[in-house]
Structure 1
Amino acid sequence: MKPLFGVMLGLILAVASPAQDSCTCATNKWAVCAQDGPGNCTCRLAGSDHPVDCSTLTSKCFLMKAEMIPLKEKRLWRPPHAVSDTDGIYNPDCEDSGVFKARQCNQSSTCWCVNSAGVRRTEKGGRSLNCSELVRTRWIYIELTHRRSSNAFRAPDVAKALTQLFESRYKLRPKYIAAIKYDPPLIQIRLDQNKKPRWDVDIADVAYYFEKDVNNDSVFRSNSKLNVSVNGDALAIEKLWIYYVDEKPPEFCMRQLAAGISAVVTVVVLTAGIGIAVLLALRWLRTRTYKKFECKEMREIKAPSLELP
């Protein structure tokens, strides 16, 4: 009876193990997943109680929040040699829906206003700073360069490859890709999303996932390495820049602008003053030279009249 029980237990464990292993989040390596029933896998963001929908991209706000968790609290599948580049990363306040709150503050009670991509759009202030609305980022410009290739890429082929990449890997519908321009080795991508339906991914989330992929710190659990090919030839991305354009212009203080204008005016005044001083010096030198020549000529004219016949 005992051997039969052992065999049955082994079969049960063998069947259960793959199910347990399959309880992972393919689109977010920072999600903590647990099997809470037969065929039911629930995933939540590491360090918080927010549920994660693994069928689509996780919001940028939630991702940034997960990155701020100390390394010891993160999942063990992070490589031991990995380091976290926190330059520009902060611990954001997120709405329950995953969008950024309009006002963000740090532990030192310094606050600022952000757009829907979480990018600061005002000067920093105190807790009294008022951010009346979350201004939407409507356009995102992505610029990247690639390594030189032995085979030249055609602009239509590059545009097609990148469109397929954004659609298949980041679930972005092609209608949100407004333009892709190619001037070797520079590639420019413009994402345009005026209003986002609930069922579509946000272009800010897409840009963040893409940025992490390029920096070899992919958010995806499996197939994490980004491979872009154009007609079978690898498109090796070297540098990446991302620019955000909001529906409303940034609201930075005029103090910074005034300081810049003051510096420019100072430089102009100093340059003009030096120029005037140089002109006066040259004029003075020219006048002295003329007087010397004039005196010399007058002496030469008067000298013969002193000789006796």
Structure 2
Amino acid sequence: MCGLVMHNATFWLSLVTSKCLLMKAEVMGSKSGRREKPKDAFEDTDGLYDPECENSGAFKAKQCNGTTCWCVNTAGVRRTDKHDTDLKCNQLVRTTWIIIEMKHAERDTPLNAESLRKFFNETITSRYLLKGQYITNVLYEKPYITIDLKQNSLEKSPEDVDIADVAYYFEKDVKGQSIFHNSVGLNVSIDNEPVKLEKTVVYYVDEIAPEFSMKSLTPGLIAVIVVIVIAIVTAIVVLVLTRRRKGKYVKAEVKEMNEMHRGLNA
């Protein structure tokens, strides 16, 4: 048994507890040059919320906060725009691929890729009890470390730990916010050398593509798009004005040449 402590509340967990129940416990206690990501991969931009869980511990497909509702995947991450309570979420869409991307602190020499792969494989299988078959890749592209967890509904048995739960435990561990009782987090050590991680981002790929509209884009991304559009419009305006000025110059030059020619013939 392992213990989970949220402020004054203690929860005793059997093996790895579902992410949905873990998030609910947190809310009760406390009342974001490397491999290209898949085009349908998306981040969790909402963070912690008080989820509705099934009796099994799974997320309910539809989550609400007052009069605002949205659909989530099996990792509990929002995969649609937010709507009113009339929103229909017909099924809980499975997250089949989770990409955990970390960046280590600046160092003079790169890490040993094989030692790094071995460390994370052994850590994930022993600490989070995930079967090794679901860890499909551990890639090192200095300074980025990428771990791929893949698990579809046909592969997963009822006894198997879900990759969404593993990713949640792992992310908390590397950020020093361990969910395990009396644990300060995960100490990453490659070839007996401590490795400091500066940034960790988790991406989700669902078996059905998410349904986001332009209005769901982050303000930063919208700002980038606006800047690009303004730059394109500005370039077009400058090009048009330049051509007009050039045309006027050519016309004036031709007129002057004709006047000079008439003057010589006079």
Smaller-chain TM-score bracket:
0.7 to 0.9
CA distance in 2, matches of 1:253, 1:225: 37
Task: Output the TM-score relative to the length of structure 1.
Answer: 0.70
Runs of 5+ consecutive residues of structure 2 not aligned to the other structure: 32-44
Instruction: Tell me what 1:247 maps to.
Output: 207
Runs of 5+ consecutive residues of structure 1 not aligned to the other structure: 1-24, 34-43, 46-51, 73-85
Deviation of 1:256 (Å): 6.8
Task: Output the TM-score relative to the length of structure 2.
Answer: 0.81
CA distance in 2, matches of 1:71, 1:28: 14
Deviation of 1:271 (Å): 4.7
CA distance in 1, matches of 2:81, 2:121: 36
Aligned partners of 2:51 and 2:63 also within 8 Å: yes
1:26 counterpart letter in structure 2: C
User: Percent identity at matched positions?
Assistant: 42
Instruction: Tell me what 2:15 maps to.
Output: 56
Aligned partners of 1:178 and 1:192 also within 8 Å: yes
CA distance in 2, matches of 1:170, 1:121: 26
1:97 aligns with 2:73: no
Residues 27 and 202 (structure 1), Cα distance of their counterparts in 2 relative to 1, 3 Å cut: farther
Instruction: Tell me what 1:282 maps to.
Output: 246
Residues 152 and 225 (structure 1), Cα distance of their counterparts in 2 relative to 1, 3 Å cut: same
Q: Cα deviations across residues 103-152 of structure 1 (Å, max 9, x unaligned)?
A: 00002x11110000011111111111110100000000111111234554
Deviation of 1:298 (Å): 3.8
**Of 108, 115, 129, the match for 2:73:** 115
1:220 aligns with 2:185: no
Deviation of 1:95 (Å): 0.5
Residues 172 and 27 (structure 1), Cα distance of their counterparts in 2 relative to 1, 3 Å cut: farther
Give the secondary-structure state (helix, strand or coil) at the position aligned to 1:190.
strand
Q: CA RMSD in A?
A: 3.0
Deviation of 1:199 (Å): 1.4
Q: Cα deviations across residues 61-93 of structure 1 (Å, max 9, x unaligned)?
A: 111111212548xxxxxxxxxxxxx96211110
Give the secondary-structure state (helix, strand or coil) at the position aligned to 1:28.
strand
Structure of higher RCO (CA pairs closer than 8 Å, 6+ residues apart): 2
Instruction: Tell me what 1:145 maps to.
Output: 103
Residues 268 and 228 (structure 1), Cα distance of their counterparts in 2 relative to 1, 3 Å cut: closer
Moved more, 132-141 or 271-280: 271-280
Q: How many residues align?
A: 244
CA distance in 1, matches of 2:109, 2:233: 54
Residues 242 and 88 (structure 1), Cα distance of their counterparts in 2 relative to 1, 3 Å cut: same
